[in-house]
Amino acid sequence: MTALNGPDPGRGLVINGRSLGRYAVMAVVNRTPDSFYDRGATYGFEAALAAVDRAVAEGADIVDIGGVKAGPGDEVDVAEELRRVVDVVAAVRERHPDVVISVDTWRAEVGEAVAEAGADLLNDTWGGVDPRLAEVAAAHRVGLVCAHAGGLAPRTRPHRVGYADVVADVIAHVTAEAERAVALGVPPEGILIDPAHDFGKNTRHSLEITRRLDELAATGWPVLVAVSNKDFIGETLGQDVRRRGVGTTAVLGVSAWLGARVFRVHDAAAARRALAAVERLAAS
């Protein structure tokens, strides 16, 4: 791991006219009854809004609203996903006019509706499985997360997945997606790349990506990391989902040092403290 004299800010990060600092905290707000971490604690409409209020008070720059659990589970069709997320986006836009609103979806239909409701960023965690989503981002001039899921279908888990070089595979995919998005008209300053730890990857792959995150940062595209309480941390440390906070903080610190810019987390306050410490260390 190469120590840097502070991460290179790379491309300016401006999402739908909202400028973000050196590090941006993206708080997870799940409008799902079965999320792996909170088990539905923020599924209710008022509970979701309260979670957004808390996250903003704790220093979140971005709130990432999701209506479908990432892993396998009950089917959620387009209509149900729309029911879960559109009204929340509209309410958050009214309550917090300055926060960046992200929506975690791979569906173009959902992207269209949430962009109209006030979303600033479409978080496509499944790696462009619906190519029309980038077209929606371009049409509405909103930001886009270009992620790598190894070709996996949404809501499926990897099985004996293999890469000759996982980091090279990630870089090739996400940069191609980013360049396609720019060609379609997505504002380049609003594009993020995400290696998507654990999506289409086993623990060894996710650890390798973490150690070599500076290679993604070197592409010049701002890097988002979504590692909060994930399985690769739990498997590495032998901890269940409720005991992965310390491991998450450690991975956040390493990722920031190696050049990541945006950090998707369940605990915005802890992430903000960790990133402040990294920034002070880099400046000393």
Catalytic residues: 230, 264
Residue tagged 């989503």 (tokens): 133
- What SS3 class is residue 200? coil
Label residues 52-85 b or e (16+ Cβ within 10 Å = b). beebbebbbbbbbbbbbbbeeeeebeeeebbebb
Q: What is the CA radius of gyration of the chain?
A: 17
CA of 192: how far to CAs of 29, 94, 146, 163, in Å? 19, 25, 6, 23
Q: Which residue has the tokens 């720019």?
A: 182
Q: Which is nearest to 6 in space by CA: 262, 258, 250, 272? A: 258
In eight-state DSSP terms, residue 223 is B
Distance separating alpha carbons of residues 245 and 233, to the nearest angstrom: 9
Tokens of 134: 């980038």
Q: How many whole angstroms separate alpha carbon 32 and alpha carbon 42?
A: 7
Please identify which residue in the block is written with the tokens 């173009």.
108
